[in-house]
């Protein structure tokens, strides 16, 4: 979409990620082509940024640099990063959103630090105690959004209910669905199965005054089948599921590579089918799905993979633009307000 409508620039933590600042800036340059009119606030070491920007004149013209003195390392502990990193590109880029100078911030840096800083600076939306990380998964029907992917290791029934509302808004904004189907990840589809917090979340969803399209319980295999559009789970399970899927895909890629080099005939066949195989590779390419949103914050923070290349980082910027353009937080706030109307409150209290 054209980003000319965005009233504010996107803030980029230009120092975050393995290949920063080069890939961050090259990604921004690609995003500028994809979303004409978008502007950037670039946080990082000015001489380093200026040096890369020499080769990217269009981006230079669409950007403003804010010099920052320090960088949060990938292995810094979030608690320490928060205390000592107040002059970092990460902290200051988040701060710019809080200060109304940018509409969203994208970073490829340390996930834990980015979440901790975002919580401190932006605060959570009213009614949200735990933000969640939302990410996209490939499915037989296209894509689904899954949350939480690791912001919290434990979630109670009301957290899972809130994740459902946030995931619903995310799927409408990023996947363009009008009525996303929401499923709770469980170990069986029968009503009596699973952990107490999941059964509690199911009760809250069924009684919800918000017009959500709640499907019911789903199992792990339903994720890739595309049974639902929004997969709701706690951050521990979501993280394990995402990484197990990645590991499985890598295992199969290795099997295929070995198979296609196992004999001259197989090699020739592989060569003939290489176009088709590229299409498969493309569908599984997680660079396309880069850009995990921290949902539930009073501001938009998008996390890029630390190892993102320019194309991948550009996709994370696109996610941020979609979320701003679709007023994701206004949608979430509105649904949370409806949820907190008296009938649901009663239910929540009964479960407490």
Residues of the shown chain interacting with its own copies in the complex, contacts defined by CB under 8 A: 138-140, 150, 153-154, 185, 187, 194-195, 219-225, 233, 235-237, 239-252, 254-256, 259-260, 262-263, 265-266, 268-277, 279-280, 283-284
**What residues have CB less than 8 Å from 170, skipping those under 6 apart?**
134, 145, 147, 230, 293, 295, 323, 328
Closest distance between its own copies and the C-beta of residue 317, in Å? 26
What is the rounded distance in angstroms from the CA atom of residue 18 to the CA atom of residue 38?
Answer: 24
Closest distance between its own copies and the C-beta of residue 189, in Å? 11
Closest distance between its own copies and the C-beta of residue 278, in Å? 9
What is the rounded distance in angstroms from the CA atom of residue 175 to the CA atom of residue 172?
Answer: 6
Closest distance between its own copies and the C-beta of residue 258, in Å? 8
Long-range contacts of 261-265 (CB under 8 A, 24+ apart): none
* Among 110, 92, 90, 88, residue whose Cα is nearest residue 101: 92
Closest distance between its own copies and the C-beta of residue 222, in Å? 7
**What residues have CB less than 8 Å from 6, skipping those under 6 apart?**
37, 38, 39, 103, 321, 324, 325
Residue number, 31 or 185, with CB nearest to its own copies: 185
Residue number, 153 or 207, with CB nearest to its own copies: 153
State how beta strands 230-232 and 292-295 pair: unpaired
Residue number, 203 or 277, with CB nearest to its own copies: 277
Closest distance between its own copies and the C-beta of residue 75, in Å? 9
Residue number, 48 or 236, with CB nearest to its own copies: 236
The residue behind tokens 């396309």 is: 288
Residue number, 189 or 334, with CB nearest to its own copies: 189
Question: Is the CB of residue 16 less than 8 Å from the CB of residue 76?
Answer: no
**What residues have CB less than 8 Å from 104, skipping those under 6 apart?**
10, 11, 97, 299, 300, 301, 302, 320, 321, 323, 324
Residue number, 54 or 283, with CB nearest to its own copies: 283
* Among 119, 124, 146, 162, residue whose Cα is nearest residue 336: 162
What SS3 class is residue 226?
coil
Token reading at 162: 């809130």
Closest distance between its own copies and the C-beta of residue 264, in Å? 10
Closest distance between its own copies and the C-beta of residue 284, in Å? 7
Residue number, 154 or 330, with CB nearest to its own copies: 154
Closest distance between its own copies and the C-beta of residue 114, in Å? 15
What is the rounded distance in angstroms from the CA atom of residue 155 to the CA atom of residue 137?
Answer: 21
Q: Which residues pair with 157 in a beta bridge?
A: none
What is the rounded distance in angstroms from the CA atom of residue 178 to the CA atom of residue 309?
Answer: 32
**What residues have CB less than 8 Å from 21, skipping those under 6 apart?**
14, 15, 44, 45, 48, 49, 52
Residue number, 219 or 309, with CB nearest to its own copies: 219
**Secondary structure element (H or E) that encloses residue 162, with its range:** helix 157-174
Residue number, 13 or 234, with CB nearest to its own copies: 234
Closest distance between its own copies and the C-beta of residue 314, in Å? 24
Residue number, 207 or 280, with CB nearest to its own copies: 280
């Amino acid at each position: 979409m054209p980003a000319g409508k965005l009233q504010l620039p996107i803030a980029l933590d230009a120092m975050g990620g393995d290949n920063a600042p080069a890939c961050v800036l090259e990604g921004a340059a690609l995003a500028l082509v994809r979303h004409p009119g978008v502007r950037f606030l670039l946080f990082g070491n000015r001489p380093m940024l200026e040096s890369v920007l020499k080769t990217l004149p269009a981006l230079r013209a669409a950007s403003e640099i804010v010099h920052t003195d320090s960088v949060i390392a990938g292995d810094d502990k979030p608690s320490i990063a928060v205390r000592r990193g107040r002059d970092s590109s990460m902290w200051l880029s988040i701060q710019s959103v809080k200060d109304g100078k940018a509409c969203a911030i994208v970073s490829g840096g340390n996930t834990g630090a980015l979440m901790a800083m975002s919580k401190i600076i932006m605060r959570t939306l009213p009614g949200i105690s735990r933000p969640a990380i939302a990410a996209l998964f490939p499915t037989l029907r296209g894509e689904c959004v899954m949350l939480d992917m690791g912001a919290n290791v434990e979630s109670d029934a009301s957290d899972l209910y809130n994740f459902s509302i946030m995931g619903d808004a995310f799927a409408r904004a990023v996947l363009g669905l009008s009525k996303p189907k929401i499923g709770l990840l469980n170990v069986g589809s029968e009503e009596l199965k699973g952990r107490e917090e999941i059964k509690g979340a199911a009760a809250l969803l069924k009684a919800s005054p918000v017009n959500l399209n709640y499907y019911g319980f789903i199992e792990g295999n339903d994720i890739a089948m595309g049974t639902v559009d929004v997969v709701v789970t706690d951050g521990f399970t979501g993280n394990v599921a995402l990484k197990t899927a990645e590991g499985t895909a890598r295992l199969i890629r290795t099997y295929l590579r070995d198979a296609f080099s196992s004999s001259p005939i197989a090699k020739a066949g592989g060569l003939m089918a290489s176009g088709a195989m590229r299409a498969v590779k493309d569908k599984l390419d997680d660079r396309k799905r880069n850009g995990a949103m921290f949902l539930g914050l009073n501001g938009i923070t998008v996390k890029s993979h630390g190892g993102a290349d320019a194309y991948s980082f550009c996709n994370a910027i696109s996610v941020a633009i979609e979320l701003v353009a679709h007023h994701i937080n206004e949608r979430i706030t509105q649904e949370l307000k409806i949820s907190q109307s008296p009938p649901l409150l009663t239910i929540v209290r009964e479960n407490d």
